[in-house]
């Protein structure tokens, strides 16, 4: 059975994209072509909170993710987070948010998860939230939190 891993990173760089790429490197997913998924967790896979992804396959392959990212100019703060809730039977939902403060992001995630639970006829038994923030006075700063689904696979 595949594993969903929650990973994160924060970094700075001379440009917004450089900061984002460096944050992905901190999370261990910078060498993959990230494919964004909507936020439904399938029944079955374990969710591991790992911080940094292990080797998930060769560089350049595709990797499915649910992603939150915040990249800000010098002097500003950005926060990114993912929350998830699982049902008693296994399926669940992710909810991803970005903003300017960890507290605001955390609160919006919890509100979003509550709304998502209300839309589904499932008995939810678990809820978790992971939020990271970044700022720097001299460079762009980026925070990312991702849920990686399984391992990478060839793009072509």
Closest by CA position to 94, among listed 121, 125, 116: 116
What dotted CATH number matches 3-153?
3.50.20.10
Q: How far apart are CA 34 and CA 60, in angstroms?
A: 9
> Taking residues 107-122, what's their average pLDDT?
97
Q: How far apart are CA 146 and CA 143, in angstroms?
A: 10
Question: If phi over 0 gives left and psi between -120 and 50 gives alpha, with beta otherwise, what is residue 28?
Answer: left
pLDDT at position 137: 98
What ranges do the domains of the chain cover? 3-153
Whether residue 86 has pLDDT greater than 60: yes
Of the pLDDT bands very low, low, confident and very high (cuts 50, 70, 90), residue 67 is very high
Question: If phi over 0 gives left and psi between -120 and 50 gives alpha, with beta otherwise, what is residue 57?
Answer: left
Handedness of CA 84, 4, 155, 31 (dihedral sign): positive
């Amino acid at each position: 059975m595949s594993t969903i891993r929650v990973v994160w990173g924060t970094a700075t760089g001379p440009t917004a994209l450089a900061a984002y790429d460096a944050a992905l490197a901190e999370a261990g997913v910078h060498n993959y072509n990230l494919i964004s998924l909507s936020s439904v967790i399938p029944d079955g896979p374990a969710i591991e909170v790992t911080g940094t992804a292990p080797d998930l396959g060769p560089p350049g392959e595709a990797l499915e993710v649910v992603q939150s990212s915040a990249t800000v100019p010098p002097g500003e703060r950005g926060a990114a987070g993912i929350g998830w809730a699982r049902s008693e039977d296994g399926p669940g939902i992710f909810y991803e948010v970005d903003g300017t403060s960890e507290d605001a992001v955390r609160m919006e995630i919890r509100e979003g998860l509550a709304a998502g639970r209300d839309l589904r006829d499932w008995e939810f038994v678990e809820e978790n939230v992971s939020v990271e923030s970044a700022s720097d006075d001299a460079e762009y700063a980026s925070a990312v939190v991702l849920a990686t689904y399984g391992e990478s696979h060839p793009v072509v």
